[in-house]
């Protein structure tokens, strides 16, 4: 009997849901200790008006969590993902009934923002994560008097709230990595990349907190 129970446990899928970033992910997306996070990649999945799914890879220098239920991220403005997420034709408004899980999220219900669907997937701590996001462009976010895209050195900035998050693990195997990378070049080149990431994250941080403060939200 016990061996049968053990076999069933080994084969079982451990599937957990969350609507706030777990502590380990808040630490991952906190914009600090970037050198120790080199190699991490997350896949941002978007769907265009034609129903085609697109995947964009984001590194740790393009992801920042300003509070427990929010994620700010940066994309190249010419990318298909950026155009899709910024397109009014592809988005739906909160007032039209977008199914946002966090009605208490101060910045969500107060304004008729156009918001798009996206999913962020990645591997962390031997588990697979999939996070459904409600996304809006970070425009005119009041970053030192500049438009957010201008402040981001040409990057398009977005702010998303967690609609639903899911963690998956199985008992018979352990994920050893997702999509990972290593920096090319020498130590000087690595420093230049880390410095660029830090500048990007600082702009994301300022833009995200400016938007949340303007809309009555606060860091959680």
Alpha helices for the chain (secondary structure H)? 2-11, 23-28, 80-86, 148-151, 187-214
pLDDT above 70 coverage of the chain, percent: 74
- 122 - beta bridge partners? 129
* CA proximity to 148, closest of 88, 196, 209: 209
Q: CA torsion angle for 90, 91, 92, 93 (degrees, to 10)?
A: -150
Residue 36: predicted pLDDT: 96
Token pair listed for 67: 């509070």
Q: What is the pTM of this model?
A: 0.78
Domain assignments of the chain as residue spans, ordered by start: 11-214
CATH top-level class of 11-214: mainly beta
Residue 103: predicted pLDDT: 35
Residue 76: predicted pLDDT: 93
For 66, the enclosing helix (H) or strand (E) is strand 63-67
- Contact, 100 vs 73, CB < 8 A? no
pLDDT tens-digit series, residues 102-119: 333 434 443 445 678 899
Residue with the larger pLDDT of the pair 217 and 110: 217
Token pair listed for 86: 């910024």
pLDDT above 90 coverage of the chain, percent: 57
* CA proximity to 165, closest of 29, 35, 9: 29
């Amino acid at each position: 009997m016990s061996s049968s129970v053990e076999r069933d446990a080994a084969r079982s899928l451990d599937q957990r849901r969350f609507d706030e970033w777990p502590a380990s992910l808040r630490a991952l997306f906190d914009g600090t200790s970037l050198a120790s996070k080199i190699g991490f990649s997350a896949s941002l999945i978007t769907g265009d008006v034609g129903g085609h799914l697109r995947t964009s890879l984001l590194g740790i220098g393009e992801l920042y969590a300003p509070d427990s239920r929010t994620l700010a991220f940066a994309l190249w403005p010419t990318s298909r993902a950026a155009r899709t997420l910024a397109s009014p034709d592809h988005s739906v408004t909160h007032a039209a009934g977008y199914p946002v899980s966090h009605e208490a999220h101060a910045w969500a219900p107060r304004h008729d923002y156009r918001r798009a669907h996206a999913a962020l997937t990645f591997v962390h701590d031997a588990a697979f994560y999939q996070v459904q996001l409600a996304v809006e462009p970070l425009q005119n976010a009041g970053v030192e008097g500049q438009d957010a895209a201008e402040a981001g050195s040409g990057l398009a900035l977005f702010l998303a709230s967690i609609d639903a998050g899911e963690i998956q693990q199985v008992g018979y195997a352990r994920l050893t990595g997702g999509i990972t990378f290593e920096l090319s070049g020498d130590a000087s080149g690595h420093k230049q990349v880390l410095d660029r990431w830090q500048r990007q994250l600082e702009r994301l941080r300022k833009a995200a907190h400016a938007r949340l403060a303007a809309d009555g939200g606060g860091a959680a």
